[in-house]
Amino acid sequence: MTAADHMLDRYAALAVKIGVNVQPGQTLVVNAPLSTAELVRKIAKTAYQAGAKHVHTDWTDDELTRIRYDLAPDEAFTEFPMWRAKAYEEMAENGAAFLFITATNPDLLKGVNPERIAAANKAAGTAMYTFRSYTMNNRVSWSVIAAPSPAWAAKVFPNLPESEQLNALWDAIFRATRIDADDPVTAWRNHQAALNEKVAYLNGKQYRCLHFKAPGTDLSVQLPPGHRWLGGGSVNANGTPFMANIPTEEVFTAPLKEGVNGVVRSTKPLNHNGNLIENFTLRFERGRIVEVTAETGVEVLQKVIETDEGSRYLGEVALVPHRSPISQSNLIFYNTLFDENASNHLAIGNAYPVCLEDGANLSREELEQRGLNTSLMHVDFMIGSAEMDIDGELADGTREPVFRGGNWAF
């Protein structure tokens, strides 16, 4: 076995045993690009060895996606195959685990009419809403990992010879996911323990508001009564632990829907469905986005915000220290899975119900009544830097430092 095969085997094992944590007799659904076939085969082998009953693979392909956006009629983007949505719902109802592999070219949809992208996102979001409630409520085990593609590797490492780009991105992914550690499983357990300490501290404080200050950012974010901070691993409805994002460096909660005021500036490019949105600013009044500017991709960002009423509000606030391993790599991955774990970030759209006490058992209307936002969208964007300070405001109005100079202040 080559060293590369050994690392890929470790990665597959991490995805199966720590990511989705496949249980005996369980079905695993893998959503993956064709370019990741070798990794998917190793994942399937590992899953069956762990006792999986079925491994279903739902393949995607960047080239086919681009062909569709270039040549399909406009009405095609207002439709989504309901058989596919129903299949995911049925498998979720039966306790399947879901592994999503991302390897998208950051420039895949460059030049495509934003109206088409927006229509497709809305159609998919509407059709898959019920399934996504299973993941956002942690009713099922799910995880997202990444694998390189040539186009993605070229974007991250444009100055390397083409023959070296793919391996360079694999190495960066292995470092970010702790696969290069002597014992990756132990490394992840230790990492989880460190995140748990931050979660416990913040949950104990129950700040009523967070104040963010940095160049171009002056933002206050109120938190709803009974909010919960989360980080690292989760537990599904059956009590089985899983790790939704690999890598993950964040602790996060949900903001009060109408409690966000001020202005925030992005600090990393946002790759949204194959379009890059760069150097953008959002201004909020009573939670609602009232002004948008961007150096590139402003039309795409505007369409995201116009998806539905909830996409004009925030659904997540997440804290990540500037000294996190991914940030210290000094790489821009042009992939939210990695870039959001190098930076404090916010998310436009739907909130995770589990960020509220007993939230997983509440209806959509009840969540809204408790101050959480609901939407078809959930789009993370990065705002952190080494220049960011964050204060937490207690119930009596006292302010305490949470971040100083981009890092934890406690």
At residue 264, does pLDDT exceed 90? Answer: yes
At residue 93, does pLDDT exceed 90? Answer: yes
* pLDDT computed for residue 244 by the predictor: 96
As a three-state string, the secondary structure of 202-215 is HHHHCCCEEEEEEC
Average pLDDT, stretch 195-211? 97
Phi, psi (degrees; rounded to nearest 5) at 357: -55, 125
- Confidence at 189, pLDDT banded by 50, 70, 90: confident
Average pLDDT, stretch 311-339? 95
- Confidence at 110, pLDDT banded by 50, 70, 90: very high
At residue 3, does pLDDT exceed 90? Answer: no
At residue 131, does pLDDT exceed 80? Answer: yes
Could you tell me the CA-to-CA distances from 201 to 122, 204, 212, 405 in Å, in that order?
Answer: 38, 5, 19, 20
At residue 371, does pLDDT exceed 90? Answer: yes
- Confidence at 280, pLDDT banded by 50, 70, 90: very high
* pLDDT computed for residue 4 by the predictor: 81
148-166 pLDDT, tens digit per residue, is 999 999 999 999 999 999 9
Measured between alpha carbons, how far is 164 from 354 in angstroms, rounded to an integer? 42
Average pLDDT, stretch 203-225? 98
At residue 273, does pLDDT exceed 90? Answer: no
Average pLDDT, stretch 108-113? 94
* pLDDT computed for residue 123 by the predictor: 97
> What are the tokens at 169?
């991105």
At residue 1, does pLDDT exceed 80? Answer: no
Q: Residue 394 gets which letter from DSSP?
A: P
Helix then strand count (H, E) for the chain reads 13, 20
Q: Residue 19 gets which letter from DSSP?
A: I
* Overall size of the chain counted in residues: 410
Residue the block writes with tokens 């966000």 = 260
* pLDDT computed for residue 185 by the predictor: 80
Q: What percent of the chain has pLDDT over 90?
A: 94
Average pLDDT, stretch 336-353? 96
What order do you get walking across the sheet with 27-33 strand by strand?
Answer: 54-60, 27-33, 97-102, 142-146
pTM of the model: 0.93
- Confidence at 10, pLDDT banded by 50, 70, 90: very high
Average pLDDT, stretch 235-258? 97
